[in-house]
Amino acid sequence: MTQQYADLIIPVALAGTFTYLIPPSMRGKVRRGSLVTVPFGQSRSTTGLVVRLHESPPDGFTPREIVELFADEACIHERLTDFILWISDYYMAYPGEVMKAAIPSADDLPGRGSAKRRGSRKSAYEGEVIMPAQLSPVQEKVYERITGLYRDHDVVLFHGVTSSGKTELYIHLMQEQLARGRQVLYMLPEIALTTQIIERLKRHFGDGIGVFHSRLTPAARRDVWSSVQSGALLAVLGVRSSLFLPFTDLGLIIVDEEHDSSYKQYEPAPRYHARDAAMMLSRIHGGKTLLGSATPSLESYYNATAGRYGLAELMTRHGEVLMPEMIIADTRFPARKGKPPSHFSRRLLDAIAEALDNGEQVILFQNRRGFSPYLMCPDCGWVPGCTNCSVSYTYHKSLGRLVCHYCGKSVRLPSICPACGSETLTTKGFGTERIEEEIRLLFPSATVSRMDQDTTRKRSASASILSDFAAGKTDILIGTQMISKGLDFERLTVVGILDADNMMHFPDFRAFERSFQLMEQVSGRAGRRTRRGRVIIQTADPNHIILRQVLKHDYKTMCSTQLEERSLFGYPPFTKIIRIFIRHRDPDELNISSARLAGMLRRHLGSHVLGPEFPAVRQVQKWYIKTIMIKIGSTLSPARVKEVIRKAVEDELRMPRAGLLRIHADVDPQ
């Protein structure tokens, strides 16, 4: 009898697949997508994913046998297997890294461990007729346009201004797919956003929709995984990791707030972009993708206007509510008049006071957490910095400590300057913690809450903060970008953007685009019902081009001017970028390796290779970092470039050196 072999992905950071012998007892049972237990290494066993069956014995070694075949209900659909392999290839990740991110551990799978004892729950949607709210005439036209565009396009970009009723359109599109018995994935960039949206969706779909994100309990994640795999759950609301759920027939993926950088996975690998990966997953299933945003990414808008995606637009707010009034508060004037510095302009303080007098609510946006970004000695200029990373410590007053936001190290507040002995250290800049303290002093009768990474560490913290604000229990909410998009509060009329300059002058080619998006998104939270909202933007650069465009809500002009600059300097969407990160604990070894790697790449790719150079933060967790950027224009094949990179990286890693070298590629970095 001819022997059969299976090529497996093993959840380790190694290239390629591993070949095992299928024992006679498992012939005809093992298939592509099966999960198996196999021996690996010297003494341990591990879970493997079957990606190929064949009868060709491997050269040079005798393969070991598969030990155990998981039950049929633990098998992975071929479409998820295809998706895992695509993620690995496109984003230059090891297949095992993708498998580890995509598939739960063995005991968490159906047919294994505790999962054996669970039954699938029945979808509340099955057999029921549920009536979303009737669309307005304007919304109805957009709905018809979207469905019409799907006849010729797999992807449609839905550009709708804030509070235009995008979610209601999403519900109608979901209803259409669910009525056909197909599955739907509704994606959001932030866990915090799922709280409001899931309550709204459950009113329409009951228990037929589930939620999936990293803050669920392990049991809850297992339940969603099993219910999606069995087909009991037809609709899921989730963040980027929900792409790896075992869908069997996805009809539609909605990527809401598609512009948001939180869709990009940075660490650990695979470093994928969930928006772009969603389009591929939908294509694998023969489904459609809807990208929705009030401020689309330049890449998506360019693809839509170029005809690669369909484009539907809704440029008026639901119920003809006016867009918020935009007001610039010039922060230079108090300094000119010799007044003490303040984090709040007179215009913002007056607007807050008026809103509180009227029983209305306020959001204050500052995209820095902590009390102060750094401390400084006023006598010699010494700034305390992290010994693991090349960044200054952030002062957290509530902790009484200095904290590194890169490695998490914290130290006590120094009593004297170690450089000059001065007993006076001053805070510089301001974060959300400081804003909260000062607002409580200025408005002692107001109920104030803060929403940032520090206050939302507990599993239910985000939901609690937002539900209190929605219920009117909180008057003023202070937060970072997690409060800037997708939230809908009836009594919110005033938004204060406290430091526009910090966003606009960030050293990155996407800084202007992202500044516009953040300011427009957080502005869109104001005045979504009957009373027109007001947005006060504090800046020392009131004539900045981006502010001029934000004041007019002029997305299209922003888009055209930024695309013109991107074209001139060769940035996305006119090129694709791969950034290579090289890490070593010894800066001299790093310099040698990065220069040699860049030289190997230049021999094949020429002037498309830029660097190596130190990034803005050159050391993180005691690892020194250099980067090489490769711009892939129309004259280069992305597949060929990736082959060159893989070969050059393999060659460099084989070179003799002192200490450990780490190299990884980031495709389409954000």
Please determine, for residue 269, whether its predicted confidence score (pLDDT) is greater than 90: yes
Q: Per-residue confidence at 42, pLDDT binned at 50, 70, 90?
A: confident
What confidence score (pLDDT) does residue 119 get?
41
Contact 205, 130 (CB under 8 A): yes
Supply the CATH classification number for the domain 576-667. 3.30.70.600
Average pLDDT score over the chain = 91
Pick the CATH number of 137-319 from 3.40.630.10, 3.40.30.10, 3.40.50.1980, 3.40.50.300: 3.40.50.300
Residue 107 is predicted with a pLDDT of 62
Per-domain residue ranges of the chain: 5-117, 137-319, 322-371+430-565, 576-667
Distances (CA, A) of 576 to 468, 631, 669: 44, 6, 9
Architecture of domain 5-117: 3-Layer(aba) Sandwich (3.40)
Instruction: Report which of residues 73 and 617 the model is more confident about.
Output: 617
Quick: pLDDT tens for 151-209. Answer: 999 999 999 998 888 999 999 999 999 999 999 999 999 887 787 788 889 888 988 89
Calculate mean pLDDT across residues 644-667. Answer: 96
pLDDT of residue 535: 95
Per the model's pLDDT, the better-predicted residue between 491 and 487 turns out to be 491
- pLDDT of 127 strictly over 50: no
User: What is the structure's pLDDT at 485?
Assistant: 75
Q: Is the pLDDT of residue 460 over 70?
A: yes
Q: How far is CA 4 from CA 136, 489, 620, 669, in A?
A: 60, 61, 47, 41
What is the CATH architecture assignment of 322-371+430-565? 3-Layer(aba) Sandwich (3.40)
pLDDT in tens, 508-538: 999 999 999 999 999 988 887 778 899 999 9
**Separation of first and last alpha carbons in the chain:** 53
Do 79 and 114 contact (CB within 8 A), yes or no? Answer: no
CA atoms within 13 A on the CB side of 640: 9
Rounded CA-CA distance 350/184 in Å is 46
- Look at the block and give the residue holding tokens 């807050």: 352
Tell me if domain 5-117 and domain 137-319 are identical in fold.
Answer: no
Task: Give residue 335's pLDDT band: very low, low, confident or very high (50, 70, 90).
Answer: low
Q: CA 355, CA 492: separation in Å to the nearest integer?
A: 9
334 vs 377 pLDDT, higher one: 377
DSSP state of 324: P
Instruction: Report residue 501's pLDDT band, with 50, 70 and 90 as the boundaries.
Output: very high
Is pLDDT above 90 for 88? yes
For 364-378, the pLDDT digits (tens) are 999 999 999 999 999
Higher pLDDT: 354 or 337? It is: 354
CB atoms within 10 A of CB 19: 17
User: Which pLDDT value is given to residue 570?
Assistant: 94
Q: How far apart are CA 300 and CA 485, in angstroms?
A: 18
Residue 441 pLDDT: 95
How far apart, in whole angstroms, are the C-alpha atoms of residue 380 and residue 418?
A: 10
